[in-house]
Amino acid sequence: MTQMTGAKMVVQALKDQGVEVVFGYPGGAVLPIYDEIFQQTEIRHILVRHEQAAVHAAEGYARSTGKPGVVLVTSGPGATNAVTGITDALMDSIPLVVLTGQVPTFMVGNDAFQEADTVGITRPCTKHNWLVKDTDALADTIHQAFHVATSGRPGPVLVDIPKDVQFAEGTYVEPRAAKTGHYQPKVKGDKEMITRLVEAMETAERPIFYTGGGVINSGDAATQLLREFVDATGFPITSTLMGLGSYPASGKGWLGMLGMHGLYEANLAMHDCDLMINIGARFDDRITGRVADFSPHSRKAHIDIDPSSINKTIRVEMPIVGDVAHVLEDALRIWKSRGRKVNKAALAEWWAQIEEWRKVECLRYRNSDKIIKPQYALQRLEALTKDRKDRYICTEVGQHQMWAAQFLGFEAPNRWMTSGGLGTMGYGFPASIGVQIAHPDALVINVAGEGSWLMNMQEMGTAVQYSLPVKQFILNNERLGMVRQWQSLLHGNRYSHSWSEALPDFVKLAEAFGAKGIQCSDPADLDDAIAEMLAHDGPVIFDCLVEKHENCYPMIPSGEPHHKMLLGEDTGEDAIKAGGAVLV
């Protein structure tokens, strides 16, 4: 039985949970914990410049490592500033443990200085949260927090720790003695249902794998099994924004991303398939379009660890509750033991149809030798970095995010960090800091729009302080591009407040922080400028001045079915007509 103060317990519990890094920002209500952090060297604390950024950095760390991210912030404004990041993590199933300071227990409810009802405020945006009122319960609660954040469907949890609980002495509990038995999500899928899925796969004429973030959450075994399954069956595979990298972009079965800005062939294959195998995706509205018209001819299976995800928006015939890796292992074994059957003739026809759709070349755009097209900038970035095995890409939110998903290829999981569910502008830069902390020697690039990037630009201070060589690749269209696009297509070109008339000089901004700034506006200079960015061993802001009014296509207009896409003017019209898409 080890006695220690609550503040010491926090640090001890983090060490025992294997935590190496904490992202945080101090304040009165967490000073005892900061004092303990000062007196040890095992855990590294990264001082960000805003609590929202601490959470996004922890998300980047978590997504790129598969380990939980840890955040430490003070009470009141520290906690409320963290709420956007916590909500972001909940929407994207990212495991985080957020520790917040609270006013002393005897002051709670008194409108005390920097008091906020943190557990109340974060109840709807955490997977679970706790207010610890007794030091004896503190270590156990922190161990439970790690267990809940990382088991089943991962997500953010929060432990609110009043200052008197940090000062008082109590008994420390080791992780193995913690009360974690009450939460044991089911990881093995139902065998009968998996066998039904395998039977359906044997006879399917137009099958498709529709994969998502759950494959990445499940870990490396899941991505390996997925690859084996796809390659052995020869079925086509598409993925959501959150699942990019779970099957390699160079793989034979790869159709590209699906959904609102997904590829034409991926969306039409989803619409016309006769067997849809959803693996760790959640039938998000960016995928389904108008639900009533979603993939009308298919039998559907859904593998998901969260039972509440199944039949939430789309009814499926084969629900399988379980972890992706466990279910795929069973499915693959059963499929092999039954003779590895697929309907080869029908599959060949299905691929021939997909090749027809591909002829549309839905990502084709008109390039220019006068101005940099954002798509071209990303094609060059891809060409100049794709061979780097240690490349990690983050994004902000907007058109640049969608172009990055379309034009960059991901060969491995955990290399793509983006805010999908909440769509949080300001996510990418701090996320890139978290990724670089986890992978100090890797190439970490944040593909940004200037609007989003400015939302957390203060983090240049963090990047410089810790010598983090993060590359901020800003596609600067001087517009809130995605908003402008919607205003152009749906609001009669009335560009209400979708541009800024007072953008900073990004090169000088970089220099003001002690970093390097590069500006490029001529397509002929782009390769050299990117090479200069890559060669620099410190943080860089790359201000890439691009075409201001480029639209991102394909696009499923909101409220339309998922096979009705707007395509750019430069795609193959005849093939489009054959495929039945809307063209404007």
Ligand X SMILES: Cc1cc2nc3c(=O)[nH]c(=O)nc-3n(C[C@H](O)[C@H](O)[C@H](O)COP(=O)(O)OP(=O)(O)OC[C@H]3O[C@@H](n4cnc5c(N)ncnc54)[C@H](O)[C@@H]3O)c2cc1C
Other C-beta atoms lying within 10 Å of the C-beta of residue 91:
19
Other CB atoms within a 10 A radius of the CB of residue 426 amount to 26
Burial of 386 from C-beta contacts in 10 A (0-12 / 13-18 / 19+): middle
Residues 431-490 interacting with ligand TPP (rule: CB under 6 A) = 449-452, 475, 477, 479-483
Q: Does 421 bind ligand X (CB under 6 A)?
A: yes
Strand 2-5 to 169-172 pairing: antiparallel
Note if 51 is an active site residue.
Answer: yes
Residue 163 annotated in active site = yes
Of the candidates 82, 142, 161, 257, which one interacts with ligand X according to CB under 6 A? 257
Residue 485 binds ligand X (CB under 6 A):
no
Under rule CB under 6 A, residue 88 binds ligand X: no
The verdict on 259 binding ligand X (CB under 6 A) reads yes
- Range 389-408, binding ligand X (CB under 6 A): 397, 401-402
Query: Among ligand TPP, ligand X, none, what binds residue 305 when CB lies within 5 to 8 Å by partner kind?
Result: ligand X
The neighbour count for residue 355, using CB atoms within 10 Å, is 10
Query: Is 228 tagged catalytic?
Result: no
Distance CA 337, CA 343 (A): 17
Rounded Cα gap, residues 152 and 247, in angstroms: 22
Q: Which stretch binds ligand TPP (CB under 6 A): 393-401, 430-438, 507-515, 565-573?
A: 393-401
Spatial strand order in the sheet of 416-417: 416-417, 391-395, 443-449, 471-476, 540-545, 516-520
Give the number of other Cβ atoms within 10 Å of residue 290's Cβ.
Answer: 14
**Dist CA 477 CA 481 (whole Å):** 7
37 versus 269: smaller Cβ distance to ligand X: 269
From candidates 287, 354, 468, 480, binder to ligand X by CB under 6 A = 287
Candidates 152, 213, 253, 398; binder of ligand TPP (CB under 6 A) is 398
Partner that binds at residue 477, options ligand TPP, ligand X, none, CB closer than 5 to 8 Å by kind: ligand TPP
Catalytic residue among 482, 533, 555, 565: 482
- For CA atoms 21, 24, 27, 29, the dihedral sign is negative
* 430 makes contact with ligand TPP (CB under 6 A): no
Residue 32, preceding peptide bond in cis (omega within 30° of 0): no
- Does position 399 interact with ligand TPP (CB under 6 A)? The reply is yes
Residue 56 engages ligand TPP in binding (rule: CB under 6 A): no
Report, in this order, helix, strand and coil percent for the chain, each rounded to 5: 45, 20, 40
Q: Does residue 423 belong to the site contacting ligand X (CB under 6 A)?
A: yes
**Binding of ligand TPP by 406 (CB under 6 A):** no
**Distance from C-alpha of 188 to C-alpha of 330, rounded to nearest angstrom:** 9
Let me know if 209 is a catalytic residue.
Answer: no
Cα angle: 203, vertex 205, 206; to 5 degrees: 130
Number of residues that bind ligand TPP (CB under 6 A): 20
Active-site residue, 38 included: no
Instruction: Build a one-symbol-per-residue string for 198-227: x at contacts with ligand X by CB under 6 A, - elsewhere.
Output: --------------xxx--xx---------
CB of 578 to ligand X, least distance (A): 23
User: In whole angstroms, how large is the CA radius of gyration of the chain?
Assistant: 25
Catalytic residue (choose from 4, 9, 12, 163): 163
Instruction: Tell whether residue 6 is a contact of ligand TPP (CB under 6 A).
Output: no
428 is a site residue for ligand TPP (CB under 6 A): no
Which residues have a Cβ under 8 Å from the Cβ of 503 and sit 6 or more positions away? Answer: 450, 454, 476, 478
Catalytic residue among 67, 114, 188, 564: 114
Q: How far apart are CA 232 and CA 331, in angstroms?
A: 12
243 part of the interface to ligand X, by CB under 6 A: yes
Q: Which residues are catalytic?
A: 51, 113-114, 163, 482
Could you list the residues that contact ligand TPP (CB under 6 A)?
Answer: 396-400, 423-426, 449-452, 475, 477, 479-483
Could you list the residues that contact ligand X (CB under 6 A)?
Answer: 92-93, 153, 212-214, 217-218, 240-243, 257-262, 280-282, 284, 286-287, 303-306, 309, 323-324, 397, 401-402, 420-421, 423, 482
